[in-house]
Structure 1
Amino acid sequence: MDDSISTWIYNLTSLTTLLLGDNRFNNSNTMRGTIPSPIFKNLTMLTIISVSHNQFNGLIPFSMFANLSKLIFIDLSDNAQLEVETENPHTVPTFQLQSLLLNNCILNKHSGGGIPTFISTQRRIETLDASYSFLRGTIPSWLLYNATVSSLNLRGNSLQCPFPQSTRHNKSMLGKLDISDNKIYGALPSNMETLFPSLVLFNMSHNELKGTIPSSIKKLQMLTIMDLSVNNLSGEMPHGLISNNTSLKYLKLSNNKLQGNILSKFSNMTELAVLLLDNNGFTGTIASDMLSSPSLKIIDLRKNNLLGHIPSWFPDLTNLGILLLGGNFFNGPIPLELCLMQNLRILDLSNNAISGSIPSCLNNISSWMTETPNNIDWSLGSQSGLPILNVVKFPVDELYTRITTNLTTKSTTLTYGGLPLALITGIDLSMNQLVGNIPSQVGHLKELHFLKLSNNILSGPIPESFQNLKNIESLDLSHNKLVGTIPPQMIELYSLSTFNVSFNSLSGMVPYEKQFHTFDERSYMGNPDLCGPPLQRNCYNPSQPDQDMKGEEEGSAILDSPIFFYLWVTSSYALGFWGFIALLTNKSRRRKIFRIVDCCFICM
């Protein structure tokens, strides 16, 4: 077949469903070319059209569908080079859609990039997805406060306006509202519970919102997922935001300017699984009332102003898999109770004022010892396959696919999400005041992917047990007071890609075989007694210098022996005595000696 849609489709006048998504045409394994406008002229019985996930390009006028009066589902999504024009020529369609999917296309490029106006005439539309479609301008209020739209996704565009207000005091039917990654500014409506009583998913992250979080949000009893991260929201957390809501599973308020005490009561929050409040200005201690949220699996409170000791009751959150408390003012020791957290996969206590030693019981945490799946359900839901007309009934499991967090694992901060976040394990205790030796038990955590103990006051040697860290990818022990050699057995750590022991007091030859051949001198700088490649300091020949020194030591031992002294005195006495006798018995030699002596006296 050629690269365009074949002409045989033209004559299928009774066709009701046309599914051309995810196709592979020709030997090029791509589906390219434009969608010919005449193809739909005779297909008046069509109800469903899907050409998503292909490589169509060029410009198509939306008017090509105008006379297909039975259409209820159109999916042109994921054709990144396809330009869809709905405004020119302007037509009033004869159909009444239920679902319109235009995401990842180029929408209305030549008519201002606005939201298609014909949607205002659609009285049955339930789902509209125009995410990442290069939209500009404002969001019309009739779109948010529509009597039928229950799922609206305008994510990843350049929409710039205040949050639309209802002009007729209409109630929205929206259950899913995602207008993240735009330029929406101003404050959220104060009467959220009145305007959006059916909200299940609310995502306005990565915008320019200001003001406080409306207290009315706590009255949205169906709200399951809320993400207001990366805005300029300020003030305190609304009282009762959590305590009066039993449906919320996912709460992300990261990267704002929120202040005050951290959430003090989590009563009735039996469903809350993900709590992301990092990069704010929260103060105070972590309240023990969080124990009433038994479903918690991820807690991220990094980069706030929290203080006090690390709570010892975290093990009571039996499902907790990721605990991130770095960048606060916590002090005191690491509680031994953390060793009871069998499902813990990532622990970040970095950049605090934690003191004491590293617990030797960390090998009691089974998820770091044996390969076990993460206890979070990372399923993708039913978003793939054939078009589903009731896609507004989106699965709650969608919240797990959107979980992301930033981790510094290999000297670079990266964003982990989905399956990679589910698989990674690690410990970050860097930038604290930890003292003492590194427990040998840490070397038996063979399922760890990263271990950061840098910028502490740790002493003693690098445990030889580190050779057992078979899955370790990043190991940072820099800026401590470690002594001894680098265990040569560590060259068997084939997964290791980042290694840093700089600024310690290590000595001896640097291992420079296998995986360690990839590390440069920056990994070892600040250790003046380390030598060998990749450092510029050469080590002494391990064989010849030892032999020379051994010979010198043996000779010195003989000279210093008392027996040698007595032999030397006896030999000297005997030589002098017999030499004198020889002179007396030889007349000619005796006369010569006398003449020499006489001359010496005359000269004096």
Structure 2
Amino acid sequence: MHINIFEKDIESISVRHHRFNKKNEERQHLKTTNNNWMYHAGKEEFAWPSNLQFLGLSGNSFNNEVFSSLSGIRHLKFLYIRRNQLKGSLDISGLSSSNLEILDFSQNDITNFVVNQDWPGLKMLKELSISYNEFKGPLQPYFANFSSLRKLDLSNNNFTGNIGSSLASLTSLEYLAFDGNQFEVPISFTPFFNHSNLKFIYGNGNKVILDSHSSMKKWVPKFQLQVLSLSSTTESHSLPIPSFLHYQYNLTYLDITGCKLEGEFPKWLLENNTKMTYLVLKNCSFTQFQLPSYPHLHLAEMNVSDNAISGQITRYTISSFFPNLENLDMSENAINGSIPREFGRMTLLQKLDLSNNHLSGQIPHELSNMSSLQTLDLSNNHLSGEVPHELSNMSSLQTLDLSNNHLNIGSLPNVQERANLTSKRRTDTYVASILAYMSEIDLSHNKLKGNIPSELGNLTRIHSLNLSHNFLTGKIPTTFSKLHQTESLDLSFNKLSGEIPTQLSELTFLSSFNVSYNNLSGAIERKEQFLTFEESCFIGNPLLCGPPLARSCNPAPDVLPNDSDIGSWVDMLVFCVTFAVSYTSFLLVTAAALYINPYWRQLSFYYAELVSLNCFYFIKDSLCKLCKIGNA
């Protein structure tokens, strides 16, 4: 979010619609060639009025040649030529007006400027914007000649090198934007030592480096910033907090995400800057969270997520120190203990994110007093117990995430007045009047039981419903056919039975549908939206058939006898192979045992000889008896 305090809203001359007086029709005419406006006056090139002070050419198809026609405008102060077809190296030496104050080349394909050595015609320039072009490499030396420049926008190019050393001479700067480049930003900020007018810095998406000045003693800057937006990356594991921040008292917006600053939460930033409204310290290396010494009345958003903050929140009275807070994000830390009951006093809070911590215990019913809350994320914690029924009064709640906790509400009752819902690590009870306000519900990975309430079909504004990985039984409610705005419906990994309601194929917004691993049966309706769903959306239901599953709903009857014969032959083959393998294994095991143990081997030989002799004499005696009987 850039604060543009300089841009003009009125263009004195617009060439989007070219209208010429009838008196000039014989001498002047408008010609288009290759989608570029070309001006001619007889055989001579078109000349702009010499007294022009404001010229707006934005949103056309001018190419680089347009600058040859600007050399005669001696009094020009403001030139806007955004969104045209300026490409490559741009020769702007024709801009010789000493009065030019604002120059905007943004949203073209410029790679470089071709200028005179000292660029004398632009020394009075106050604002320059070359954002969204194709500039590469370090800033060129001619930028150092803009000694009167108050606003410079270099954002969204491919600049590299140290931003501080390149702009050290531009001491008149008030507004500096260099988002979306590859600059290296010294953490000490000492190259801006003499920038006494600097108020706005937007440098997101660059790299913060540990420079040689960081070991110097604290220095007192001459500037007082209002905005510092420096969400960047760094190759260092931790960096010292810039000393110049200790002397800032006018900050209203501070974002130093990803800078890996070490130490405890800098509460002095809030104490020194009483007008601060936006504070983002995400993905730093701060440990212990600390409150300021006195209430902060202006802070509306605070994000301290993805740090190393530990301990309990219960010992902090956040509601008293931040009475006007609207957005609080403390996710992805190591916070433990229970959720503070005093959160219920934060009646202006619209978003609360405590996900991915180590919170335990039950969800306090006092949260139902947060009348403005729209998003509540308590997912990926260790919360347990039932969700307080009082939460059903939260009419403003739109997104609820309670997944991956240990919540258990027993069952989802099939009643008109209320429905118990569990979303990402949390279970809540909602009355029918509340259901219409929900837009996302994730109740996955909990212990929900019973039937799915048909009242969920009244969630006509919902975009996503996730009830997966629970113990839900019964049929899929036919009332789900009223979820016309739903884009994602996940009922997988439950114990649902019956057929998939054919009415669900009428949900034209449905792009993600999953009923896998249930006990569903019958044929899959293959029309409308259901034609886009793959086999993975239905697998794990033994009695479900039809495309996209390979299981046919109408097997051919003449196949059955052949299949029966083949099955018998396969059974016999399996029996023979199994017997042979088992018998061979028995012999091998027996032989191995006799080889290893001599006593068993001797004993086995003895019994083998005994059995053999008994069998021999038994057969011999039997044959003799038979011979005697035959002779008789």
TM-score (norm 1): 0.72
Partner of 1:61: 91
What is the distance in 2 between the residues matched to 1:214 and 1:504? Answer: 53
Alignment of 1:195-274 (within 5 A): 195=221, 197-208=223-234, 210-214=238-242, 217-259=245-287, 261-265=288-292, 267-274=294-301
For the 8 Å contact 2:484–2:508, the answer to whether it is kept is: no
What is the distance in 2 between the residues matched to 1:76 and 1:483? Answer: 63
Once the two structures are TM-superposed, the CA of residue 529 in structure 1 deviates from its matched residue by 5.0
Alignment of 1:86-235 (within 5 A): 86=114, 90-95=117-122, 96-107=124-135, 109=136, 113-141=137-165, 143-144=167-168, 146-160=170-184, 162-163=186-187, 166=190, 170-186=194-210, 194-195=220-221, 197-208=223-234, 210-214=238-242, 217-235=245-263
For the 8 Å contact 1:267–1:289, the answer to whether it is kept is: no
Partner of 1:435: 408
Against the structure 1 CA distance between its residues 6 and 152, is the aligned structure 2 distance closer, same or farther, given a 3 Å change threshold? Answer: same
What is the distance in 1 between the residues matched to 2:520 and 2:472? Answer: 12
Against the structure 1 CA distance between its residues 150 and 319, is the aligned structure 2 distance closer, same or farther, given a 3 Å change threshold? Answer: same
Aligned pair partner of 1:78 in 107, 114, 120: 107
For the 8 Å contact 1:178–1:204, the answer to whether it is kept is: yes
Residue 307 of structure 1 pairs with residue 342 of structure 2:
no
For the 8 Å contact 1:145–1:173, the answer to whether it is kept is: no
Aligned pair partner of 1:491 in 471, 475, 481: 481
For the 8 Å contact 2:189–2:244, the answer to whether it is kept is: no
For the 8 Å contact 2:463–2:486, the answer to whether it is kept is: yes
Partner of 2:38: 6
- What RMSD, in angstroms, separates the aligned Cα atoms of the two structures? 2.8
For the 8 Å contact 2:200–2:227, the answer to whether it is kept is: yes
What is the distance in 1 between the residues matched to 2:303 and 2:438? Answer: 23
Once the two structures are TM-superposed, the CA of residue 516 in structure 1 deviates from its matched residue by 5.6
Query: 1:59-82 CA deviation, whole Å, 9 max, x = no partner?
Result: 3123332x2111111011122x23
What is the distance in 1 between the residues matched to 2:348 and 2:407? Answer: 28
Q: Which has the higher contact order (CA 8 A, sep 6+)?
A: 1
Q: Look up the equivalent residue of 1:358 and give its one-letter code.
A: V
Against the structure 1 CA distance between its residues 335 and 524, is the aligned structure 2 distance closer, same or farther, given a 3 Å change threshold? Answer: same
Against the structure 1 CA distance between its residues 218 and 316, is the aligned structure 2 distance closer, same or farther, given a 3 Å change threshold? Answer: farther
For the 8 Å contact 2:185–2:206, the answer to whether it is kept is: no
Alignment of 1:442-457 (within 5 A): 442=430, 444-457=434-447
What is the distance in 2 between the residues matched to 1:77 and 1:329? Answer: 47
Query: 1:284-314 CA deviation, whole Å, 9 max, x = no partner?
Result: 1222144221221111111110111111222
What is the distance in 1 between the residues matched to 2:337 and 2:58? Answer: 56
Residue 20 of structure 1 pairs with residue 57 of structure 2:
yes
What is the distance in 1 between the residues matched to 2:100 and 2:508? Answer: 63
The secondary structure found in structure 2 opposite 1:59 is strand
The secondary structure found in structure 2 opposite 1:10 is coil
What is the distance in 1 between the residues matched to 2:335 and 2:232? Answer: 25
Query: 1:466-516 CA deviation, whole Å, 9 max, x = no partner?
Result: 011111111111111222222111111011111112122222222243346
For the 8 Å contact 1:180–1:207, the answer to whether it is kept is: no
Once the two structures are TM-superposed, the CA of residue 330 in structure 1 deviates from its matched residue by 0.9
Residue 279 of structure 1 pairs with residue 306 of structure 2:
yes
What is the distance in 1 between the residues matched to 2:506 and 2:120? Answer: 64
For the 8 Å contact 2:126–2:148, the answer to whether it is kept is: yes
Once the two structures are TM-superposed, the CA of residue 323 in structure 1 deviates from its matched residue by 0.7
What is the distance in 2 between the residues matched to 1:525 and 1:351? Answer: 24
Query: 1:308-340 CA deviation, whole Å, 9 max, x = no partner?
Result: 111122232221101111101111111111112
Once the two structures are TM-superposed, the CA of residue 144 in structure 1 deviates from its matched residue by 4.8
Query: 1:356-392 CA deviation, whole Å, 9 max, x = no partner?
Result: 1223333312224xxxxxxxxxxxxxxxxxxxxxxxx
What is the distance in 2 between the residues matched to 1:155 and 1:341? Answer: 36
Which sits farther off after the overlay, 135-144 or 294-303? 135-144
For the 8 Å contact 2:497–2:518, the answer to whether it is kept is: yes
The secondary structure found in structure 1 opposite 2:158 is coil
Q: Look up the equivalent residue of 1:485 and give its one-letter code.
A: K
Which sits farther off after the overlay, 515-524 or 230-239? 515-524
Once the two structures are TM-superposed, the CA of residue 132 in structure 1 deviates from its matched residue by 1.0
What is the distance in 1 between the residues matched to 2:345 and 2:326? Answer: 12
Partner of 1:296: 325
For the 8 Å contact 1:507–1:531, the answer to whether it is kept is: no
Aligned pair partner of 2:76 in 46, 50, 64: 46
Once the two structures are TM-superposed, the CA of residue 434 in structure 1 deviates from its matched residue by 0.9
Once the two structures are TM-superposed, the CA of residue 173 in structure 1 deviates from its matched residue by 2.2
For the 8 Å contact 1:345–1:367, the answer to whether it is kept is: yes
Q: Look up the equivalent residue of 2:231 and give its one-letter code.
A: S
Aligned pair partner of 2:458 in 460, 468, 474: 468
Q: Look up the equivalent residue of 1:92 and give its one-letter code.
A: W
Aligned pair partner of 2:399 in 406, 409, 426: 426
**Number of residues of Structure 1 aligned to a counterpart in Structure 2:** 469
Against the structure 1 CA distance between its residues 128 and 220, is the aligned structure 2 distance closer, same or farther, given a 3 Å change threshold? Answer: same
For the 8 Å contact 1:328–1:352, the answer to whether it is kept is: yes
Partner of 2:385: 356
What is the distance in 2 between the residues matched to 1:366 and 1:10? Answer: 64
Once the two structures are TM-superposed, the CA of residue 206 in structure 1 deviates from its matched residue by 1.9
The secondary structure found in structure 2 opposite 1:174 is coil
Q: Look up the equivalent residue of 1:154 and give its one-letter code.
A: F
Residue 342 of structure 1 pairs with residue 371 of structure 2:
yes
Against the structure 1 CA distance between its residues 522 and 13, is the aligned structure 2 distance closer, same or farther, given a 3 Å change threshold? Answer: closer
What is the distance in 1 between the residues matched to 2:350 and 2:126? Answer: 40
What is the distance in 1 between the residues matched to 2:244 and 2:113? Answer: 39
Against the structure 1 CA distance between its residues 14 and 288, is the aligned structure 2 distance closer, same or farther, given a 3 Å change threshold? Answer: same
Once the two structures are TM-superposed, the CA of residue 428 in structure 1 deviates from its matched residue by 0.5
Against the structure 1 CA distance between its residues 242 and 163, is the aligned structure 2 distance closer, same or farther, given a 3 Å change threshold? Answer: closer
Against the structure 1 CA distance between its residues 47 and 294, is the aligned structure 2 distance closer, same or farther, given a 3 Å change threshold? Answer: same
Against the structure 1 CA distance between its residues 341 and 521, is the aligned structure 2 distance closer, same or farther, given a 3 Å change threshold? Answer: closer
Against the structure 1 CA distance between its residues 224 and 184, is the aligned structure 2 distance closer, same or farther, given a 3 Å change threshold? Answer: same
Q: Which runs of 5+ in 2 are unaligned?
A: 1-30, 41-45, 413-417, 420-428, 525-537, 546-632
TM-score (norm 2): 0.69
Q: Look up the equivalent residue of 1:185 and give its one-letter code.
A: I
What is the distance in 2 between the residues matched to 1:518 and 1:18? Answer: 47
For the 8 Å contact 1:445–1:469, the answer to whether it is kept is: yes
For the 8 Å contact 2:473–2:497, the answer to whether it is kept is: yes
What is the distance in 2 between the residues matched to 1:251 and 1:168? Answer: 23
Against the structure 1 CA distance between its residues 271 and 145, is the aligned structure 2 distance closer, same or farther, given a 3 Å change threshold? Answer: farther
Residue 525 of structure 1 pairs with residue 553 of structure 2:
no
The secondary structure found in structure 1 opposite 2:269 is coil
What is the distance in 2 between the residues matched to 1:39 and 1:520? Answer: 54
What is the distance in 2 between the residues matched to 1:191 and 1:69? Answer: 42
The secondary structure found in structure 1 opposite 2:320 is helix
Which sits farther off after the overlay, 152-161 or 49-58? 49-58
Query: 1:163-219 CA deviation, whole Å, 9 max, x = no partner?
Result: 475369535421011222112312695878722541111122122164132465244
Runs of 4+ deviating beyond 6 Å? 190-193, 517-522
Against the structure 1 CA distance between its residues 328 and 114, is the aligned structure 2 distance closer, same or farther, given a 3 Å change threshold? Answer: same
Against the structure 1 CA distance between its residues 496 and 519, is the aligned structure 2 distance closer, same or farther, given a 3 Å change threshold? Answer: closer
What is the distance in 2 between the residues matched to 1:482 and 1:266? Answer: 50
